[in-house]
Amino acid sequence: MAVAQRKGKWVVDITYRDGRRERLVSPVQTKRGATEYEAQLRAREIERYKAEKLRVDGERRPLAPETINNHLVILRKLLVTAQEWGLIEKLPIIRRLKVPPAHCDWLTPDETARFLTAVEVQYPQWAALFWTALRTGMRRGEIFALQWDDVDLVAGTVTVRHTVFRGKLGSPKGGRSRTIPLSSRLMRVLKDHRAVTFLKSAFVFPGEDGKLTAHQGHVNRPLLGGLKLAGLRRVRFHDLRRSFASQLISAGRSLKEVQDLLGHESIPMRYAHLSPERMKEAVEALEGGPSATLSGHRSVTNPVTF
């Protein structure tokens, strides 16, 4: 789209994706009016794009509202850049779609122990992977991208340098690596796992051919099987990351510590809710009574989520 003055009239020239061109006369015949009209037309095109992506078209499935909103975020950044470069004068209004509340679940420490025990019994070859997920908070793609060069079993650390996206190695989310300390139990688990896999692959959790795992969905079978054997509800793999964060904060660790371990640039405060027990302790601290201090080491039934 472009605002121009043609034959004494302010117009908006439009070139569509299919190559068609159209010239619309601005209803307000001033440059400012034409600029406002152009912004309205851009907003109309954005609304049309949203409707198109939500619609079922033959075999094409509609996009989720969250995905469309991600597109709109990128589009706004492009438009802001275009404005900075002087290509457009006014930004159109971009309204995001309403999305339902995000699914949010986690395992308590007791549930975590039951799940890991069940996996060790039923799916022993997967035990090290689930121990790593629940004791480092790494994302699924980061776990499958993990290489033995990233694991220091002497210093007791793992460095997240890569992730897997659509079967290819890339930088982790946020573009920054991070180092996570290993618990003593996880170190023992990884040492035992290394004795079995080290000579077969450079990856800690490789595919059957020893190469990078291209399809991560096969982890759902042992995940759901372990949960069923432990008598637990179904949770997603990403909920293991939330379990890690929830249990840390319920144990009294600071939001900053958890933020660094998870690799977040920031932690939205809407996820940082204290459990009812800890909120009670916080209020009692004002009274100076027996619950005046936040011990931070109590098992809770409703930890915070990330």
Measured from the Cβ of residue 238, the count of other Cβ atoms closer than 10 Å reads: 15
Q: Are strands 9-15 and 21-25 parallel, antiparallel or unpaired?
A: antiparallel
Q: Which residues lie closer than 8 Å to 215 by C-beta, 6 or more apart?
A: 167
pTM of the predicted protein model:
0.65
Q: Which residues lie closer than 8 Å to 46 by C-beta, 6 or more apart?
A: 72, 75, 92, 94
Cα 206 from Cα 148, distance rounded (Å)? 11
Each residue's pLDDT expressed in tens, for the chain with a length of 306 residues: 677 777 777 777 777 677 777 677 777 787 777 777 777 778 888 888 888 888 766 667 788 888 888 899 988 898 898 888 887 788 888 888 888 776 778 899 999 999 999 999 999 999 999 999 999 999 999 999 999 999 999 999 999 999 988 778 888 887 888 999 999 999 999 999 998 887 778 899 988 777 777 666 788 999 999 999 999 999 999 999 989 988 888 888 888 888 888 888 776 554 555 455 555 665 666 666 544 444 443 344 444 433
Dihedral through CA 145, CA 151, CA 156, CA 157, nearest 10?
Answer: -50
- Which residue is associated with the tokens 């597109």? 71
Which residues of 88-202 form beta strands (DSSP E)?
151-152, 157-160, 163-165, 168-170, 178-181
Measured from the Cβ of residue 248, the count of other Cβ atoms closer than 10 Å reads: 20
Which CATH code is given to the segment(s) 109-234? 1.10.443.10
Structure tokens at 23: 């010239």
Q: At 152, which helix (H) or strand (E)?
A: strand 151-152
Per domain, the residue ranges of the chain are 2-84, 109-234
Q: Which residues lie closer than 8 Å to 65 by C-beta, 6 or more apart?
A: 54, 97, 98, 99
Using alpha carbons, select from 105, 245, 128 the residue that is nearest to residue 192.
128
